Amino acid sequence: MTIEITTLPSGLRIITDSMRDLETASLGVWIGAGSRHESKSEHGLSHLLEHMAFKGTTRRSARAIAEEIESAGGDLNAATSSETTAYYARVLASDTGLALDILGDILTQSTFDAQELEREKGVIVQEIGAAEDTPDDLVFDLFTDAAFPDQPIGRTILGTPERVSGFNRSSIETYLARHYAAPSCIVAAAGAVEHQRIVDEASQHFAALGATAALPPEPARYVGGEKRLRRKLEQTHVVVGFQGCSFHNLEEYALTVFTNAVGGGMSSRLFQQVREERGLAYSIYSFHWPYADTGLFGFYAATAPGDVAELMPVALDCLREAADTLSEAEMDRAKAQMKVAQLTALESSSARAEQIARQHLFYGRVLPREEIIGRIDALSLEEVRLAGHRALSTAPTLAAIGDVSKVMTRARIAERLA
């Protein structure tokens, strides 16, 4: 790897990975704060702030921001998650200075104009409505809420119409001052980049960031629960899950391999037994989401209401049996999937910039490719099975939308797995 890291006196970390033969660069700012860092009264504020960053600064109007980056052939975007917020751009190698200028401008000099704020709050309320109309997304919101009840990590990223409608400029600036400080931010760049040039530009454009690190979020407490939403739909959407592993848990790689083996592709047990052999679902897959201090593991399925009573025990049996009988061949296929996913990130400048930023945020360092592949290759079949057993032994969480009359209860799920 060609990783170079510089930490400025303010605490701002600048990480670059120069990728040969590329003529474009991907770069951005990753902040170690997302929706789980919000208080109850701030629910949805991280996402609103992401939107408002593009609505004008002391130097540029919203239109000028868009026109300036696009006139150079670049693009600008942002994303909010539970634990991070990112603002990023992709440009020609010669325009990295322009991209950093604009990113620094929107993060340190945004005006949060009152008219723009009211307009954007309306846009987000519509976005919330769109999510409510998308059951395969909404069921995961119900799922995280049930897994982490009354906790920031369990709340939706978008917020609620009531909360979003009540935010004002003071709300945004208070949150911004608390979380958008230099020690909580990483400037990452990959592709056709020169490290010292990025350092020099970032030093100039992000000088206004504060130097006081933000406090960590409320620790997560996995509880498990059940949420059902009756709706007249063509399909019933179901998520069944359990406590997973955090980024820092040594078992995280083993559980990810187990996840890929049971439901990560067309050769997986869930896909073969639920879809191919029985035709009970068009969409079914497993997932593992690691967070800084916890994780979620489980599966999602969408099926005809009349098939859900058969699908759920079949899927649960797949998980339970895999924890006992997963084969070397299944594990090796899952390992290969993981390695391809990791190595693919090294071939895309945008994926690479995100990867190095997130790794440094969560691990305090960039993980060498050899270390990641080595940890995957070193896993034994016993370790992978044990990771599955441990996850399945935790309290189940259930979320379902549609005709939920035949969806198994949490108690029956636990009995089936036992």
pLDDT of 340 over the 80 cut? yes
Chain centre to alpha carbon of residue 258: 20
* N residues, the chain: 418
Residue 1: pLDDT band by 50, 70, 90 thresholds?
low
Q: Looking at residues 314-332, what average pLDDT do you find?
A: 97
pLDDT of 239 over the 90 cut? yes
* E strand map for 125-251: 185-191, 226-230, 236-243
User: What pTM was computed for the model?
Assistant: 0.94
44 in Cβ contact with 164 (< 8 Å):
yes
| Cα–Cα distance, 158 to 143 (Å, whole number) | 15
Sign of CA dihedral 362, 364, 366, 369: negative
* E strand map for 151-267: 185-191, 226-230, 236-243
Q: Where do you find CATH 3.30.830.10 in the chain?
A: 3-205, 226-417
- For 137-174, the pLDDT digits (tens) are 999 999 999 999 999 999 999 999 999 999 999 999 99
- In the sheet with 226-230, reading across from the earlier edge strand, the strands are 226-230, 397-402, 236-243, 295-303, 283-290
Q: Looking at residues 355-364, what average pLDDT do you find?
A: 96
Which CATH entry fits the domain spanning 3-205: 3.40.50.970, 3.30.830.10, 3.40.50.150, 3.10.450.50?
3.30.830.10
Question: In this predicted model, which residue has the larger pLDDT, 270 or 265?
Answer: 270
pLDDT computed for residue 59 by the predictor: 96
Fold (topology level) of 226-417: Cytochrome Bc1 Complex; Chain A, domain 1 (3.30.830)
- For 94-131, the pLDDT digits (tens) are 999 999 999 999 999 999 999 999 999 999 999 999 99
**In sequence order, which residues have a C-beta less than 8 Å from that of residue 331 and are 6 or more positions away?**
257, 261, 379, 381, 384
Is 415 one of the catalytic residues? no
Q: Of residues 4, 38, 42, 50, which has the active-site annotation?
A: 50
| Cα–Cα distance, 283 to 387 (Å, whole number) | 25
